[in-house]
Chains A and B, each alone.
Chain A
């Protein structure tokens, strides 16, 4: 039974998605989605447990042995990402019920759940697959459902945002297909492990071009600065639930994909010594951190502010990856996990304000510290983590990042990381100041958000403090993954 876990992870949401679309009652579609996401989370926990105990799990689809058939392969890196994606999927669902009912027309609610399930199936598929073409197919399953989900926002600008995302995302996907095709021409295989063996033998200009196409294509998907232009609008105008889900999973999985391609398929020697990838990625990551953080300061829509902050946080992950050392890569993977927790909590808090006040503009937050104390406290909790205050998850990953930079003797990089945290302090303070130090002027009947919204939000906040003080598990898995990717240690 346990050997079928990798495929079960993808099949559950994939099969449930059309069922949810067929169910005419939104409540039933929600219940089905809730059950499926929690079942998926359960399967993911079993699988992660197995991977950490017994090492990499491999599954041959239809019994066709790799490299001829499609292989599903889960190692420590995949395990960490699986936990994030399925965990966030499960925690978002209880939140979704009230938030979606408020923001989406009731005739479309079941379609939104169907889209969420499809997107989840695609994201989990990317994480478990060991085949590059399969990776592309799952990427498009998740992306196309994401376009539809974003377009469900109440504002008409959601449509424009979704369209822009679709155009840029499709360019990225097509680049990825070209890259995969070029790798196939040179090696005759699509299996990642097999590719890793054969690419050094056929190293040529075609392989370099394939590398370039894949890098740019995936960077578009993960919104690496300056390819991030689709992200702020998409996150701002999507329904709150969709923003929470996409912000904490979609870009993370794209980062995972980048790591897979750089380290597993092309190998660290080719990516960083032959192609000198770090010379390109490091400046872009730093520019992303600084410029996106400064832009975030000037936003007066809190959702957009957090979206720009996401671009900056992706910069931290890429920075860790571009250090290409065990510590740097650990920091990158760890931040992937940690950022999902804190950004999830923050977007949930903003979604709760949308639920009660009906706006997420900065003025709408005026005096909410007293009217919605639990929601705003969660916002502060997530914000502290974003800044990187000790005892929070944000501190742990930034600590590793600074260590990684100092290890390589790049102290200016370490300083810039700290500067980025100060900028985060400025934009989080902007919201906190308005919420706590200004008088409430809105509708006096405004109440605290309902428990259905508060509970998932606080689970994420508590987790972000828990993993901030008990970082051994996450840091251990991230380190194991980093060692595996770099081919050192076990």
Chain B
């Protein structure tokens, strides 16, 4: 039961590994970025899960009401920052891929490596 109860952490590990596998196994630069995004999104789920408390309410203070268990808002705030970082990384990566396509005419990693190796300097 304990293992099943932690299912969102299993989802986190599964997504992380899926993303990581795509990142490593694909030679196409856009597919690699997709993998990276899945990999990063998995961590978002990890942070969101860890802020939740069984039976907890959203952390909004209401005057006069006491004795309520609130979810921990801090991990959610943290992950908002990490989402922004993730989005900027993806943006920079995609911009690089556009430039790579212009400069090499392809976005296949193995072809680009081959072209690199042919060049002197």
Contacts and interface: CB of A to CB of B under 8 A. Distances in A.
Interface of A: 133, 136-137, 140, 144, 147-148, 151, 155-157, 159-160, 162-163, 166-167, 170-171, 173-174, 177-178, 181, 184-185, 301, 359, 361
A147 B78 CA distance: 24
Interface string B27-49: 00100100010011001001100
B81 A147 contact: no
B36 A151 contact: no
A167 B32 contact: yes
Given A144-B88, A181-B47, A137 B96 contact: no
Contacts of A361: 120-121
Contact of B36 (A136, A159, A167, A301): A167
Given A157-B116, A166-B89, A361-B120, 20 more contacts: A136-B82, A140-B85, A144-B85, A144-B88, A147-B92, A159-B96, A159-B99, A159-B100, A159-B103, A163-B29, A163-B96, A166-B96, A167-B23, A167-B36, A170-B89, A174-B43, A177-B82, A178-B43, A178-B46, A301-B121
Contacts of A148: 92
A378 B22 CA distance: 46
Interface residues of B, number: 33
Nearest to B39: A174
10 contacts: A140-B89, A144-B88, A148-B92, A157-B116, A159-B99, A159-B100, A181-B47, A181-B50, A185-B50, A301-B121
A147 B100 CA distance: 14
A171 B100 CA distance: 21
Interface of B: 20, 23, 29, 32, 36, 39-40, 43, 46-47, 50, 74-75, 78, 81-82, 85, 88-89, 92-93, 96-97, 99-100, 103-104, 112-113, 116, 119-121
A162 B96 contact: yes
Contacts of B43: 174, 177-178, 181
A157 B120 CA distance: 11
A156 B104 CA distance: 8
A171 B74 CA distance: 24
B98 to A, nearest CB: 10
Contact of A181 (B75, B99, B100): B75
A57 B107 CA distance: 49
Nearest to B12: A178
Contacts of B116: 157, 160
A170 B36 contact: yes
Contacts of B112: 160
Closest 9 CB pairs of A and B: A156-B103, A140-B85, A159-B100, A163-B96, A185-B50, A159-B99, A170-B89, A166-B93, A177-B43
A336 B116 CA distance: 33
B89 A144 contact: yes
B88 A170 contact: no
A108 to B, nearest CB: 12
A133 to B, nearest CB: 6
A151 B96 contact: yes
A142 B20 CA distance: 23
Nearest to A134: B81
Nearest to A166: B93
A359 B121 CA distance: 8
A34 B93 CA distance: 29
Contacts of A133: 78, 81
